[in-house]
Amino acid sequence: MIYIKTDSEIQKMIEAGKILGQCFDFLKEHIKPGISTWELDHLAEKFLKHHHCIPSFKNYEGYPGSICASVNDVLIHGIPSKDIILKEGDIISIDMGNIYHGYQADAARTYGVGEISKEAQRLIECTQKCFFEAYQQAKVGNHLSDISAKISDVASEYGYSTTKEYGGHGIGKEMHEDPFIFNYGEKGHGVILRRNMCLAIEPMIHQGSDKIRQLDDGWGVASEDGKLTCHFENTIYIDNDGPHITTIDSIVEGYLSNVER
Ligand code: MF3
Ligand code: CO
């Protein structure tokens, strides 16, 4: 069942997203060669708690971290570790969830560590474009799959594939609510979108094949072919004038200020 939020619930979703966006801008300053993903996890947890929030991933179905930190071929759910030290040229996807006054925000970013290759840069650019084009489809009266179709359309323009086994989701009091949002599809299917629906839209893009493999820790998911993967996610709510992103950081701000111009 899809929960439609009240206006006062939307206000709390906005607040949860705002603090999560600030946490990303804080974390990205620390993404440099030599830092471990464990240290990034520790910094994020401290930041959220300091802002009277709860990191939602911690203990979620037994998950040990406050963030997922997925490097290079690792797509999602990378467990932070003292042994995983970032090096020049890596790309790292950080996925984080936040609870504020009982309401959730969920977002992911992929950052480059130092100088990265043209190919890695292009993958990140594509994944952000997938999100920003797809989220504009989240309008009152559109079909859910209009979002999914845009993600796979943009990815194939770049010659990339999208993850088939994981996708976006409704979000509210729970991190994962209905509906599930595929990262591929065709327009015109699924539920009709309504005002005050809240969704986490999260393109996951593969430089090579969309085949995945599970890491031995039981959490991490990586590309089977070892090629780079990328993740970009935001929480949005739908108003009569269109979709609004709650998880605003400098990347989203940059995008929004270009659109206004
Ligand atoms: N944030 C992920 C999602 O977008 C879920 C993280 S799973 C956790 O759906 F176990 F790490 F919390
Ligand atoms: Co999510």
The verdict on the CB of residue 160 being under 6 Å from ligand 1 is no
pLDDT in tens, 44-59: 999 999 999 999 999 9
Q: Is 202 in the pocket of ligand 1 (CB under 6 A)?
A: yes
CB of residue 97 inside a 6 A radius of ligand 1: yes
Please determine, for residue 260, whether its predicted confidence score (pLDDT) is greater than 80: no
Nearest atom within ligand 1 for CA of residue 97: 1
pLDDT at 261 exceeding the cut of 80? no
192 CA to centre of ligand 2 in angstroms: 20
Q: What average pLDDT does range 118-124 have in this prediction? A: 98
pLDDT of 245 reads 98
Mean pLDDT of 9-34: 98
Which pLDDT score is estimated for 257?
A: 95
Q: Could you report the per-residue pLDDT of 154-170, keeping only the tens digit for each? A: 999 999 999 999 999 99
What per-residue confidence (pLDDT) applies to 212?
A: 98
Report DSSP state, residue 79. P
Rounded Cα distance between 175 and 92, Å, is 22
Cβ of 15 below 6 Å from ligand 1: no
The single-letter DSSP state of residue 52 is T
Q: Is the CB of 68 under 6 A from ligand 1?
A: yes
Kindly state if the Cβ of 177 falls inside 6 Å of ligand 1. no
Are the beta carbons of 119 and 159 closer than 8 angstroms? Answer: no
CB-ligand 1 contact for 63 (6 Å cutoff): yes
Amino acid present at 34: G
Task: Name the residue of 24, 56, 68, 104 to mutate for ligand 1: max ligand atoms within 8 A of Cβ.
Answer: 68
pTM above 0.85, yes or no: yes
DSSP state of 190: S
pLDDT at 114 over 80: yes
What residue type is assigned to position 120 of the chain? A
Sign, Cα dihedral of 180, 139, 24, 116? positive
Cβ of residue 180 lying under 6 Å from some atom of ligand 1: no
CA of residue 77 to ligand 1 center, whole Å: 7
pLDDT digits (tens, 9 = 90+) for 64-96: 999 999 999 999 999 999 999 999 999 999 999
Q: Compute, in angstroms, the gap from residue 260 CA to the centroid of ligand 1.
A: 32
Q: How far apart are CA 199 and CA 86, in angstroms?
A: 31
Q: Which residues have a beta carbon within 5 Å of ligand 2, which is an ion? A: 106, 200
Task: Please answer whether residues 146 and 157 qualify as being in contact, where contact means their C-beta atoms are separated by less than 8 angstroms.
Answer: no
180 contacts 144 by C-beta, under 8 angstroms? no
Query: Residue 84 has what pLDDT?
Result: 98
Distance between start and end Cα atoms, the chain: 39
